């Protein structure tokens, strides 16, 4: 055990401090994701209903051979001459033990329901403000497929907690075909691929709802917590984004995150998370014969590739995701000349609600509208 501990401590130091050459061989590295192609098409699976000010649809697209699902809310108000602007909203870590997350997103594997999801206010609110909103399930979430299989162990969230289903039962662990832990430390890269294939699918919308016109030049991204990491990686890799918003984003080194959740976080400090990250990196490199290191997945190491404006919103004492991660990312973007805005709110809320939620939405709306093309 001592040798393993020394090994992963050394890997932590080397992965973030001494590696300077950018490696593009690992299929989930930001370097590789920047070079690869994304191609898909979008179709309506079913209409979910007409509501006051908007209509809802379940839509589908393919990502790496998997059929994925999303909720789409369409404004009832007439579209602008060039069509509705588009907002893809990327959720945070789902299926863990924080009831507030489940209530806000309703997107864990067992209890996902579009009826519940329609009630999530931000998804509705942006549609009422004139955006076509897409709220995707990443692979393995909600109604989206996964290339995984149950392996006889308990499924863990990325904090190391065993996941319970809606009946309170522990969920069997799902491993993908590369031997990686579902929703593990490296999996946000796959979620980024899913989002980028969704972006590509917008160029090929099969049989859209009658009269729906979308403005592909005004495509915006939003991400919260883990979804902030997914979103930041997506706009680092892609070049079609008009602007993006990150709420309490996990935009920092995986080693920094692992250290926080192992030693500092009141929710889940349990003493083994850094070792789990090291093992997952080893497993991935063994399967793919690559030399992936954690820095290859960290969007803050690639801010020189970012071309779109970004707004970052955090609460200063957030214990779920350290506010420093988003604040530092804002300043890193600014160093490289990226147009960026930072909103720091008092308190420790990781899930915005009430007046704070309204203030954050208003800030996003003003930011998006000021950067429409």
Mean pLDDT, each 10-residue run in order, the chain (373 residues)? 42 42 78 96 90 91 91 95 97 53 37 43 93 89 62 51 72 56 80 97 94 96 95 96 97 91 68 78 87 95 97 94 97 98 95 92 98 97
Q: What is the pLDDT of residue 171?
A: 63
Distance of CA 102 to the CA centre of its chain: 16
Find out whether 110 and 165 touch, Cβ atoms under 8 Å: yes
Q: The domain spanning residue 118 has which CATH number?
A: 3.40.50.1820
Residue 132 lies in a domain: yes
Residue 260 lies in a domain: no
Domain count, the chain: 1
In a domain, 9, yes or no: no
Is 118 contained in some domain?
yes
Burial class (CB in 10 A: 0-12, 13-18, 19+), 335: exposed
> pTM for the complete prediction?
0.84
Domain-located, residue 249:
yes
**φ and ψ at residue 334, rounded to 5 degrees:** -60, -40
Place of tokens 């959740």: 261
pLDDT tens figures, 80-109: 999 999 999 998 875 433 343 334 333 333
Q: Among residues 88, 75, 89, which one has the least CA distance to residue 212?
A: 75
Q: Is residue 270 part of a domain?
A: no
Q: What is the pLDDT of residue 6?
A: 41
Q: What is the pLDDT of residues 224-249, one digit of tens each?
A: 999 999 999 999 999 999 999 999 99
Asked if residue 76 belongs to a domain, the reply is: yes
Range of the domain at 118: 24-146+185-253+293-370
Residue 279 included in any domain: no
Alpha helices in the chain (DSSP H): 2-13, 30-35, 99-105, 114-118, 121-128, 188-201, 226-237, 254-259, 273-288, 323-335, 354-370
């Amino acid at each position: 055990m001592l040798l393993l501990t020394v090994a992963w401590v050394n890997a932590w130091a080397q992965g973030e401090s001494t590696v300077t050459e950018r490696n593009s061989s690992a299929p989930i590295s930001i370097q590789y994701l920047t070079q690869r192609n994304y191609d898909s098409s979008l179709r309506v699976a079913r209409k979910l209903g007409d509501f006051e000010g908007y209509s809802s649809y379940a839509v589908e697209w393919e990502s790496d051979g998997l059929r994925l699902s999303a909720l789409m809310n369409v404004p009832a108000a007439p579209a602008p001459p060039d069509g509705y602007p588009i907002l893809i909203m990327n959720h945070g870590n789902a299926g863990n033990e924080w009831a507030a997350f489940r209530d806000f997103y309703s997107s864990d594997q067992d209890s996902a329901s579009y009826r519940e999801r329609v009630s999530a206010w931000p998804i509705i609110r942006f549609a009422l403000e004139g955006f076509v909103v897409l709220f995707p399930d990443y692979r393995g979430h909600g109604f989206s497929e996964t290339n995984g299989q149950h392996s006889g162990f308990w499924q863990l969230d990325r904090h190391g907690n065993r996941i319970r289903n809606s009946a309170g039962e522990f969920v069997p662990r799902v491993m993908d075909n590369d031997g990686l832990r579902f929703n593990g430390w490296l999996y946000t890269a796959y979620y980024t691929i899913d989002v980028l294939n969704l972006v590509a699918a917008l160029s090929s919308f099969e049989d859209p709802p009658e009269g729906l016109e979308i403005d592909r030049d005004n495509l915006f991204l939003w991400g919260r917590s883990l979804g902030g990491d997914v979103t930041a990686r997506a706009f680092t890799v892609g070049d079609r984004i008009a602007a993006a918003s990150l709420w309490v984003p996990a935009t920092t080194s995986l080693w920094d995150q692992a250290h926080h959740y192992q030693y500092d976080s009141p929710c889940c400090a349990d003493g083994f998370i850094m070792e789990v990250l090291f093992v997952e990196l080893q497993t991935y490199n063994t399967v793919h014969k690559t030399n992936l290191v954690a820095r290859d997945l960290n969007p803050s190491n690639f801010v020189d590739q970012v071309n779109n404006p970004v707004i970052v919103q955090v609460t200063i004492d957030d214990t779920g995701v350290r506010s420093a991660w988003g604040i530092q990312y804002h300043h890193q973007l600014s160093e490289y000349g990226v147009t960026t805005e930072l909103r720091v709110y008092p308190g420790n809320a990781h899930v915005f609600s009430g007046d704070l939620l309204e203030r954050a939405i208003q800030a996003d709306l003003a930011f998006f509208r000021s950067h429409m093309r």
